[in-house]
Chain A
């Protein structure tokens, strides 16, 4: 008999809808039938435990992965990962990816007429520490146009991927920079309910800024948290 400590149900009204008319790629890809609630069994409350073996040298410093530093405005991106019960999420893998300073990704399908940077892949990995903190050194990503609508530009953003302790707690999100002029025109940002868009926003943090590295942007992340009571598989009323 396995003792299952389930996670809290998802909070309603927080997450963006799968189908969003203004984000054109969702039209043929968003499922149209309502999802079936998945009870939390041992398969759901377990998940990959990914640690140091997933990290390579300089994975958390995107300015030291090439032969020379990349072009761009060097910054620190750091924050704390906690759960809905305000507990730190320790030793969890954080993966990021972003465009270079000119607004281009290292990818065969990104053929925009701005330069690639031979010293910048845009990919990074880190583990959170015992208090849930992660820290990257990178550069401010450039903005770039995309084909969604006429004169569409993505605001500067960094993609984040996190695991947390279980299959339930997985999260992929994007981090934006305060005051970006393209935010009010970006359907990927706007699809998030207005009251929760602040969860996508980093904040300039002077206290974390380092005069030998650069300005610091803080981006905290909250993963799903456990419900309080464990129960035996056998009396699950989900």
Chain B
């Protein structure tokens, strides 16, 4: 049996190949569910905003469904939603995504996971994509999410997006690469 190929950084110069127009629009006016504008920032070990990189997001639609052969439950799916998003940085060093609060997806055991987005971050100096998850502050389902609850309580807030107090429907999440508030990263 072969072993997997090895990772290398995307480097700084991937822009002619990876981004595509509209990659940040996972949802539009025709999508079902609670539409949100998600604003992501990244900070490095000095606490400075990282000025480059790319995010890939993967999440269920509002029914908790994925457009994928392995999701063969036959339940309803939103044809006007893209489970996948690819987002490059804007001039203010933010990654801005138009999406929805995802529906719930089965988890380990007889559980339902809380609404979550799988995220992967790529940049120069990042040797392999960094995998994390975004959950949504205030969702009652967070209390019963098996993965979230397996993480030490002090670090759980690093996975929480929070709604802006001034702009309704705008949610913020910071990915901290290092430091006291270092985001929880996952191995897969």
Contact = CB atoms under 8 A, between A and B. Distances in A.
To the question of whether A and B form a pair in one complex, the answer is yes
Which range holds the interface residue count of chain B? 35 or more
B63 interface: no
A85 B173 CA distance: 38
Given A36-B185, A97-B14, A159-B17, A11 B110 contact: no
B174 interface: no
A197 B131 CA distance: 24
B151 interface: yes
Interface in A146-198: 159, 161, 165-168, 170-174, 188, 191-192, 196-197
A38 to B, nearest CB: 4
Interface stretch (B93-101, B120-128, B164-172): B120-128
* Residue among B4, B124, B125 with max Cβ neighbours from chain A (10 Å): B4
Nearest to B133: A38
B108 interface: yes
B187 to A, nearest CB: 4
A13 B52 CA distance: 29
* Residue among A31, A96, A200 with max Cβ neighbours from chain B (10 Å): A31
A2 B10 CA distance: 34
B83 A161 contact: no
Interface residues of A, number: 88
A4 B106 CA distance: 10
A41 B73 CA distance: 14
A46 B44 contact: no
Contact of B124 (A25, A85, A105, A234): A25
Interface in B98-137: 105-110, 113, 116, 118, 120, 122-131, 133
Interface string A12-25: 00111110100111
Contact of A46 (B4, B12, B66, B109): B66
Nearest to B106: A233
Contact of B128 (A2, A16, A86, A174): A16
A33 interface: yes
Given A42-B71, A223-B4, A236-B109, A17 B127 contact: yes
Contacts of B128: 15-16, 18, 172
Interface string B38-67: 000000111000100000101110000011
A97 B105 CA distance: 35
Given A234-B109, A234-B110, A159 B127 contact: no
Interface stretch (A69-77, A119-127, A204-212): A119-127
B90 to A, nearest CB: 14
Contact of A222 (B4, B13, B133): B4
Given A3-B72, A172-B122, A234-B110, A86 B1 contact: yes
29 contacts: A2-B73, A3-B72, A15-B128, A16-B6, A17-B127, A27-B125, A28-B177, A30-B126, A31-B130, A33-B184, A36-B150, A38-B187, A41-B105, A41-B106, A42-B106, A43-B59, A46-B66, A46-B83, A48-B83, A54-B20, A85-B1, A86-B1, A172-B7, A172-B9, A173-B5, A192-B8, A222-B2, A223-B5, A236-B109
